[in-house]
Amino acid sequence: MTKDQLVQKYMDVFYRSSDFDSLHNIFSSDLKFEGPLYAFNTAKAYISSLKKSPPVNCSYEIIDEYSNEDSVCLIYHFIKGGKKTTMAQTFTIESGRIIAIRLIFNVQAIT
């Protein structure tokens, strides 16, 4: 899979299918996830968190996308329950797997 396909797979699982176990196929086992609410140091811990508290009734609209040799950055509107905020999410790719995800947004905009 290309880096863009990896990121698209992640977004599809997160926002549409909720087949979180399939993320093991695209994440490095030592995935680093960093966001304003949570941080994880393994794919297993991040996937477990998604299973315990899955995203429900939310969607996104891509504003822009940037990429370079080993990373992709998505800027998008996150929409849930009539609230909308801008999010930026970076994905670092190595050896055909996502090794790091950083999520940036204003938590107060959706709470």
CATH of domain 3-109: 3.10.450.50
When pLDDT is cut at 50, 70 and 90, the band that residue 40 belongs to is very high
How far apart are alpha carbons 24 and 76 in whole angstroms?
24
Q: Is the pLDDT reported for residue 6 higher than 80?
A: yes
Torsion of the alpha carbons at 70, 46, 39 and 77, rounded to the nearest 10: 70
Question: What is the pTM for the complete model shown?
Answer: 0.93
When pLDDT is cut at 50, 70 and 90, the band that residue 109 belongs to is confident
> Tell me: the pLDDT tens digits for 58-79?
999 999 999 999 999 999 999 9
Tokens, residue 81? 């329950």
Query: What pLDDT is recorded for position 72?
Result: 98
- Angle (nearest 5°) at CA 4 between 89 and 39: 30
Show me where the domains of the chain are located. Answer: 3-109
> Residue 17: which residues within 8 A CB-CB, separation 6 or more?
none
Query: What pLDDT is recorded for position 111?
Result: 74
